[in-house]
Structure 1
Amino acid sequence: MKFNRELVKGSIVLLAAFGVFNAMNFVYHFSMARILSLENYGKLAALFSIIYILTILTEAVQVVITKYTANAKNEGKVKNILKRSLAKGALLALSLTLVYALASLALYKKLKIELSLMLLNGAFIFFAILSPITRGVLQGQKRFFSLGTNMALEGVLKVLLGIALVFAGLQVYGAIGGVIFAALLAFAFSFAQLKNVLRAKEKRARVSDIYSYSLSALVALFAILTFFSLDVIIAKAIFPPQTAGAYSIASILSKIIFWGTAPIGKAMFPLTSNENSKKEKRKTLLNAFAFVLVCSLAALIAFSLLPGFIVKIFSGKSLPGASQILPLLGISMTLLSLTNLYLLYKLSQGKVKGVFFLPFLLIIQIVLLYNPAHTLASYAKSAAFSSALFAIGTLALVKISSRN
């Protein structure tokens, strides 16, 4: 198989940058798992799962901005896309922050998390909406080094600020506060990276079908990222704090596969958006699929051979239950990573009709997981089975819809 050079180059740059970002994310959780009590780390993991659901919009916005930036002919039009998107994004961010605050009133008791902590977590929404706009422009212009630098900066700041605030005595509040400040500073830095666009003479850009395309992207990423996050949230609701904390450790580790292979899809997206030949697009997809599979298999081998060692190194605790389920959760994340890549490829081609049925697949996940009689082992088996059903269901729905 002949590899696409732009995909390889972009993937290597983003893999390196995401490697830093994910390494910092690992260091962050590694530190928090050791500094915080198991119960408090369970709270932090649940809050992060909510953040992951909120970042559905982050990914959707970045996908949309990337596609339209990739199709823009000059920087004047890119500037127009950037300005219009930031104005509308700010209004959306404020509205969603209010909605989240109201939802927190109903959720905090069920999740056994302080209301003030839930509300602080909601402050992340504002930058979760605006940051992907500037990053989407960088990605759409294939400025992978600048995009990677911005994300790596956020990762490093999150670790430094988070640890500093926790040691200052703020506990989970400090851990979340570090995430918020890091996002703010990285967003501010992105404007310096876009100085050429900001200095360009603005030209009106045609963004026909952007709303219908945005809806298609939003629904697809809602399904993927909600599926990605629900397991920890449901575990927090049905298990005692210690058991939920142990599951959170294994789940966070398994999700290294998803986030670790995400740069491959990000490098692929602007390439398959621009390529005219269907044959070239398919080749780029197969290249990306092979990259994801190789990276995932490497992680699965490590999870299978050294689960206890990995859990002990990560958490500083001996957690046999978490070690037992780690390989199974790794398989679950591999399936989800491949499904995510396929959906990104279809979105790079335009609107995808079948995605509007994907949220119904989440019902299957909830039915399989929300059972108070679950043990850790049976819960992990249900999580892996639901991932397989989600992958098969996604492929079937998109294929069937594309024929109609």
Structure 2
Amino acid sequence: MTSFLNRHAVILIFPLLDVLLNVVNYAYHLLLARELSSVDYGLLNAYLALLGLLLIIGSALQWTVTRDLSQQLTNQYRQLRLRLLLYTGIILLILMYVLPFILPFTKINLLLLTLTILIHILLSFRRGVLQAEERFYALNFSYYVESVVKVAATWIFLSYTDVTLALLFILLGMTLAYFSSLVQTSFPISFGRTKWHGLTHMIHTQVVMTLFFTLDSLLVTRFFPTLAGDYSVALRFGQLLLFVALSLSQLLLPRLSSLNQSDTFVEWERKLYFLIVGGLACSVLFYFLAVPYLIPILFGDGYEQSGQYVKYMALVYAGITLIQYEALVQFSLHRTGYLKWYWGILVVLVLSLLLFRQTIEIWLTAQVIVFLASAVFLRLILQKHRVPTTTLKEEDE
């Protein structure tokens, strides 16, 4: 009984620690929202939206290492690291010269983003090992180092902070988290051929998923510039749903990956899905009843509209969370066919963002309809049957 509790307590404790971690991250935004003007805070969130889009390279790498190590698949990780850093560096170099002509991005800020992304790739290899070994407390420690350092630096230098310093503190937190990871675990064992299939598949998925919740952050500064600050505050509360869901996903991926050959996989997955739906329903109710009253207390005056926007955000991110979960299941089963549906959802989302922008309320309503309807559609059409054994062998060859 004691061993059972020790093994499964992490299922409850890890999400709780992750919620507290997001409270720490919220402190970063609380400090900056109070110190920066609404326009500057909206600009910072545009940078963070771009950063979130580019960090999918490291995130996809972490998930791929986790899945493959859980299923005892081999890879030449050292060669993969070298090539991945090279290709990413070339892409980022191009973006440093192209983006300033499209959006108000300065070269120094883009350089800080570039360094953050490259450090994150190195860090993701080791986080993937921790996740595969289900060392979730050590994994959480790595996240806490990253966040606490960022928030502490912001608080100490708050009176001097601008958008550039805010990005510098993110880089500082990421760098120290990488150094701590060197002590926590070794680099994954490298042998066999260099295989890109799992990584490119997950990057593909994460690109689409990240566009789901970054496009509006980038476009709001163009369509509704005076409301960008209010929108960004509401966005932070909405994304909390997704962050908690991603925390649970870190627990679930090793289990899903190891169970994908089990006859109980379908039954286990179905129960898990309804558990997530129930949790999201309770969360949405809380967002409608309580969160609008918390925003003025936490962020101060000047963000009155955020209380109304956050109700839409709760529904938007409930839909995105369910869509993300479907991708997790398909990834653990080594499937790629679902991606065509995700690109279809992205096309519909872009059309809705461009066509239904008469008011910001209409804009948000269109997003709610797209994501909730898509979540229902994916649940109905995507297969959840376990992957044949030959599939794994063919990918490993």
State the TM-score, normalized to the length of structure 2: 0.87
Shift of 1:50: 0.9
* 2:162 corresponds to: 171
Q: 2 CA distance for matches of 1:28 and 1:252? A: 11
Unaligned runs of 5+ in 1: none
**1:113 CA displacement:** 4.5
- Residue type at the aligned position of 1:180: L
Deviation at 1:277, TM superposition (A): 4.8
1:102 aligns to what? 97
Residue 32 of structure 1 aligns with which residue? 32
Deviation of the 1:352 alpha carbon: 2.1
| Residue of structure 2 aligned with 1:255, choices 239, 244, 247 | 239
Change (3 A) 1:378 1:25: same
Distance (whole Å) between structure 2 residues aligned to residue 99 and residue 392 of structure 1: 38
Uncovered stretches (5+) of structure 2, i.e. residues with no partner: 388-397
> Structure 2 CA distance, aligned partners of 1:172 and 1:28?
12
Aligned partner letter, 1:191: L
Cα distance, 1:321–1:376 mapped onto 2, change above 3 Å: farther
1:238 aligns with 2:229: no
Determine if contact 2:261/2:386 at 8 Å carries over to the other structure.
no
CA 1:7–1:378 in structure 2 vs 1: closer, same or farther (change >3 Å)? farther
Tell whether the 8 Å contact from 2:356 to 2:362 is kept in structure 1 after alignment: no
The whole-number CA distance in structure 1 between the counterparts of 2:192 and 2:206 is 25
- Residue aligning to 2:394: none
> Tell me, what secondary structure is at the counterpart of 1:255?
helix
Give the match for residue 152 of structure 1: 144
The counterpart of 2:301, out of the listed 307, 317, 321, is 317
Q: Is 1:185 paired with 2:176?
A: yes
On the 8 A contact 1:335/1:388 being kept in 2, the answer is yes
Number of aligned residue pairs: give it: 384
More moved, 267-276 vs 173-182: 267-276
2:262/2:386 contact within 8 Å kept:
no
- TM superposition shift of 1:39: 1.0
1:369–1:379 contact (8 Å) kept in structure 2: yes
Determine if the alignment matches structure 1 residue 135 to structure 2 residue 127: yes
**Does the CA-based 8 Å contact 1:273-1:349 persist in structure 2?**
yes
Q: Take 1:346 and 1:152, find their aligned partners in 2: how far apart are those partners?
A: 29
Q: 1:233 to 1:16 in 2, by over 3 A?
A: same
Q: CA deviation at 1:291?
A: 4.4
Aligned mates of 2:352, 2:291 — CA distance in 1: 25
Other-structure match for 1:126: 118
Aligned equivalents of 2:17, 2:193: Cα separation in 1:
32
Are the equivalent residues in 1 in contact too, given 2:60–2:202 (CA < 8 A)?
yes
Other-structure match for 1:300: 284
Measure the CA separation in 1 of the matches of 2:6 and 2:246. 16
Query: Judging changes above 3 Å, is the alpha-carbon distance between structure 1 residues 134 and 34 closer, same or farther for their aligned structure 2 residues?
Result: same
RMSD in angstroms over aligned alpha carbons?
2.9
Higher helix proportion (structure 1 or 2)? 1
Query: For residues 322 and 371 of structure 1, do their structure 2 counterparts lie closer, same or farther at Cα, with a shift above 3 Å needed?
Result: farther
Q: Is the 8 A contact 1:261 1:295 kept in 2?
A: no
Distance 1:131 1:340 in 2: 23
Residues 1:204 and 2:195 are matched in the alignment: no
Contact 1:235 1:244 in 2 (8 A): yes
- For 1:146 and 1:400, the matched residues in 2 are separated by 31
| Partner of residue 270, structure 2 | 286
Give CA-to-partner distance per residue, 1:63-102, whole Å, 9 cap, x none: 21111111238xxx7xx75434432332233223213213
Aligned-residue identity in percent: 18
Local SS of the residue matching 1:21: helix
